[in-house]
Amino acid sequence: MKRLMLMSLLFPAILFSQTSGKVIKVSDGDTITILLKGNKQKKLRLADVDCPENGQAFGKNAKQFTSGQVFGKTVKFTETSTDRYGRSIAKVYYDKDKYLSKELIKAGMGWWYFSYSKDNSLGKLQQKAQQNKIGLWQDVHAMAPWDYRKMKREQSKNKKIEASKAQTKTNKAV
Catalytic positions, written as ranges: 45, 53, 87
Q: Report how far apart, in Å, the C-alpha atoms of 68 and of each of 6, 101, 103, 104, 114 are.
A: 38, 14, 12, 11, 25
* Cα(143)–Cα(59) distance, integer angstroms: 11
The C-alpha atoms of residue 106 and residue 122 are separated, in whole angstroms, by 8
Neighbour tally for 143: CB within 10 Å? 18
- DSSP assignment string, 39-58: GEEEEEEETTEEPPPTTSTT
Query: How far apart are alpha carbons 52 and 149 in whole angstroms?
Result: 10
